[in-house]
Structure 1
Amino acid sequence: MTALSQEEAFARIRLLRSPNVGPVSYRQLLRRFGTAQAALVALPDLAGRSGAYRVADEGRVANEVAAVRGAGARYLFHDAAEYPVLLAELDSAPPILTCRGDTTLAAKPCVAIVGARNASAAAVKLARQFAGDLADAGFVVVSGLARGIDGAAHQASLNGGTIGVIASGIDIAYPPEHADLQEQVASQGLLLAEQPPGTEPLARHFPSRNRIIAGLAAGTVVVEAAPKSGSLITARLAGEAGREVMAVPGSPLDARAQGCNQLIRDGAILVQSADDVIELISAFSGAPRSTFRESVASFDYGSDELADTPADVAGLLTVAPIGVDELIRQSGESAAAVQLALLELELSGRLVRHAAGRVSLTL
């Protein structure tokens, strides 16, 4: 990409911080209007005829930029040469990240290691072994800096290369007892955050954090996880992205192992050592051997320019998620027209985007 001017970089941050603008709509707006500065001018009209829509306040964004600099961090835009290549393949990839550390780590072979916060001593030991062996073999270990398995994985891979993805702003350490570890990751590895500085880690931020972890890596290893845990969300997102999903089996008598055992039943690859992981990832060519994934819509969201006239698709939508490609088939409209209709619904706060290219009306 050509170097961004200060004005356009500021406008991009302001665009993303504007109401109801998410990763997909952000890219659509840039495609349609060419620059974030032009998109900001057009946003109120696109959002509806009431005139109530207002883009993000300039002063608030200026304070954010100052806070990022104050934290010793910088912005990483989606079309920058150093933006992680595997992460960029996701339709929902964050358009803007804040980062501290060595961004070249994301260009190396990456493996995510995740698991229970209240992990058993045996699982923590195993996570350290996996992470240390993977780092020694030249792999970068990605995790979420949580208690338990995440922390163990980061600690064991600090010297070899590790990436921490946090659910808070880049200036917030969570959990508090990992403040020193987070600083070590930032100084010796790479620390990434999607949320603006000053943002406390709320429950809704963790699934978003998990998609980044899954997106950065060619494969995700779940060491220990209870049913319905965040680690299983990461595994599902990795499967949806077409990446390897691996799990360490455990005793059926331990609730913390039930999630991993279920993953294996559902098609994840059973792994018992770092060598098993290395064999899978080294042979990864974009067609994973694990079969743990849900059906993913095949529509190419970036193939069409947005049309001038949106399709009337609101009547086809309900609160139940449906694939965009199905909406295109049922509406009889062009893909570009349907995308513009969805963009207008999203900006007006009436649309929710889900994983695997599905959308629904808000409740």
Structure 2
Amino acid sequence: MGSCLSSRVNSESPLHAGASSRYVSSDERVLSSRRLSPATSVPHTPRGENEILESATLKSFAFNDLKVATRNFRPDSVLGEGGFGCVFKGWIDEHSFKATKPGLGIVIAVKKLNQDGFQGHKEWLAEINYLGQLHHPNLVRLVGYCLEDEHRLLVYEFMPRGSLENHLFRRSSHFQPLSWSIRMKVALGAAKGLAYLHSPEAQVIYRDFKASNILLDSAYNAKLSDFGLAKDGPMDGQSHVSTRVMGTYGYAAPEYMATGHLTAKSDVYSFGVVLLEMITGRRVVDKNRPQGEHNLIEWARPYLASSKRRVLRIMDPRIEGQYTMGGALKATTLAVKCLALEPRNRPPMNEVVKALEQLQDLRESGSVKSEVVHQKKQRNFGDDEVSKRRAGSYPRKSTTPVNT
């Protein structure tokens, strides 16, 4: 299958294009390096490692148990890979948490850290720091971790339908196009996750919101994953957090890229990017598109600023007929607000949630018929149970290296 060692490349420029994303394979561009000195490492955590591990309400796994659970990290157990490392499918007993045979107990996703740099350990610790304390229906559940000799692993709940990125952009029988209603359901769930992170209860800036970090359960409920770049929000009356620019090219807010000033509104911009991806079915950066269409936001902006009918020209043709004109306009208008160049003009995430809830109400009252038609078309692909199993599969690692 090849090496599972995808990682970021070194760069001093915030605009440098690096390698793939970190939870599942992707051809997105990374802005900065994963090999940083301790003085500039992110995310910043005021507590020490021992304090973080002791305070986390997580299961501490033995390396051998995870090795057995994943069948010795076999290649055919790989769910995906990224800069952090590979993710493997495994099985454990739901009560004892001991390894079981495939098909018995509960399914888990085991992320195994590449042993190639200090920053990887910091991201591993950041995951524990945040997901060991934060609990919400729209955040992926971290079951536990392994810290044994040189081994660093994280154990998550298994998300059977994989990432939003795969469903939007992969063209295969395993990933049929998501319907309009499911896209808006996913958008609402992801928005609720971000709103919780920005709330006074959590006060966290996610910093890496993108389609590959939105995972879907069997009912297409969205959960945010991968908190390796998350940061505590500004404290003591500060307006922002100053940090080295890191994230994924195309999703990062322009003011953050220019200044390193990070706020909750930076996440709002990233949400607007993903919402536009869901509306159009296009990647934010796609060099395979014709000249003038490589950058999604630049390509879509003239249509978004013109007449109502021109807005329909950016809609994903695969979902034609599944939405009302009013629903399409509300969704595109919300994306435009989130993508405002001035951070103060972007809505807070709790307002985004309300707007998407209203959009859900509009869908339920005005487009039920089109959704029924879509579901009938989907059943034509074959047996319903087979289709479900295929849609739930994670992608295998691409055999073609990503060009950078």
> TM-score scaled by structure 1?
0.32
Asked which structure has the greater RCO (Cα within 8 Å, sep 6+), the reply is 2
Which one has the bigger helix percentage?
Answer: 1
